[in-house]
Amino acid sequence: MWNETRLTQLLGIKYPIFLGPMGGGFSTPELVAAVSNADGLGSLGAYTLDPEQLLQAGQAIKSKTDKPYNINLWVSDVDAALANYPAESLEKVKALFKPYFDSLNIPLPVLNPNIASRFDKQVEVLFELKPAVFSFIFGIPSPEILREAGRLGIKTVGAATTLDEALALEEAKVDAIVAAGFEAGGHRPSFLKPAQDSLTGTFALIQQLKANIKTPVIAAGGITNGKGIAAALTLGADAVQLGTAFLVTDEANVTALHKAALLSGGTSNTILSKSLTGRMGRMIRNTISEEISNQVQVLPFPLQTRLIAPLREAALARGRKDMANFWSGQGPIHLKHSKAAELMQALVAETEIILRSR
């Protein structure tokens, strides 16, 4: 059976289809539960949540499903460059973005570069919740954290954008590795080299990993339908991870403007840009991503996010799609399912038809 893989057996799920752990509030307990209840693996992107919010989200998920689910955190959630960040550099970047604020007639925000990491406290809550899976990006947790996860029966999943990153994750003895291709929407989770130097495509990356590591591989990036799932599994992936396709469902916490952009074909017009958050990610092109190239200095993460936050809020309130960052992968443009359960059913049915016909 096509759906019986090392990862379905390891996690006790029926289908090797994972919800991409979309952070920034996009993934909700309702969306996580819908995917898990449909016998896939629901995932909560939790890097923006403080410990109390994470605890509440985990409890909400458990009230909606008794199936396995995943919580995703960022190992590196504050850029090292923020330490002793020069005031003159901060003012220079604010001046660069001031025209955009002026165009919406809103003031620049007051920013404090002293931002503490939440990761360690989030991990403490995660261990209290004991999800079936703890996935992470932007690095590898300490051996102590990984050992504790294992002791608690929590499976660990790291993300790699290159073979070298996958080899490092395998050495750390994680249970599975996400092959994060450059087609994927959202942030590029590179951690050994800069994101711009780690742009391998999903299908090439699957084959590189399968030829060099023994750890199960999860394919992510540009997969939105059964054809993509079938292709990834045929290349040797043990599971697939989809994000953008689920963004247009009712259960996702996505603005109407963002959904409309995705449904109108925005996935065919994406760009990798660091202009909106300080870290490179794939989004639908907008005025800022076109005018602020990746060679231009912006603020380190997450200070750049805090700079842009009021601009994004004002732009959305006024229907200004040209200055709002809409995350999107490079998948096919035919996104149509508004219910997560219906999308899961369609993915399973299409994949089964393709793989059974061979």
Helix 202-212 with 163-171: angle, nearest 10 deg: 40
* Cα-based distances in Å from 153 to 77, 107, 133, 146: 25, 49, 9, 11
CA 30, CA 77: separation in Å to the nearest integer?
A: 25
DSSP for 222-249, please give it: S--SHHHHHHHHHTT-SEEEE-HHHHTS
CB contact burial 59-85 (16+ within 10 A = b; e otherwise): eebeebbebbbbbbbbbbbbbeebeeb
Residue 137 has phi, psi (to 5 degrees) of -135, 175
| pLDDT level of residue 334 (50, 70, 90 thresholds) | confident
Average pLDDT over residues 162-186: 98
Identify whether the C-beta of residue 290 lies closer than 8 Å to the C-beta of residue 265: no
| pLDDT reading at 333 higher than 80 | no
Our measurement of the distance from residue 139's CA atom to the centroid of its chain's CA atoms, rounded to an integer in Å, reads: 14
State the Cα angle at 159 between 212 and 73, rounded to 5°: 155
Give the lowest-confidence range in 77-81, 164-168, 173-177, 262-266: 262-266
Complete domains list, the chain, with CATH: 6-78+115-252+339-356 (3.20.20.70)
CB-based contact 51:74 (threshold 8 Å): no
Residue 358 has pLDDT above 70, yes or no: no
Query: For residues 201 and 324, which has the higher predicted lDDT (pLDDT)?
Result: 201
Contact between 8 and 237 under an 8 Å Cβ cutoff? The reply is: no
Q: Report residue 181's pLDDT band, with 50, 70 and 90 as the boundaries.
A: very high
Question: Is the pLDDT at 342 greater than 80, yes or no?
Answer: yes
pLDDT tens for residues 50-109?
999 999 999 999 999 999 999 999 999 999 999 999 999 999 999 999 999 999 999 999
Where do runs of H (alpha helix) occur along the chain? Answer: 6-11, 29-37, 51-64, 87-103, 119-129, 143-151, 163-171, 202-212, 226-234, 244-247, 256-263, 287-291, 303-317, 340-356
Residues in the chain: 358
Query: In sequence order, what are the residues at sequence separation of 6 or more whose Cβ sits closer than 8 angstroms to the Cβ of residue 52?
Result: none
Tell me: the pLDDT tens digits for 189-238? Answer: 999 999 999 999 999 999 999 999 999 999 999 999 999 999 999 999 99
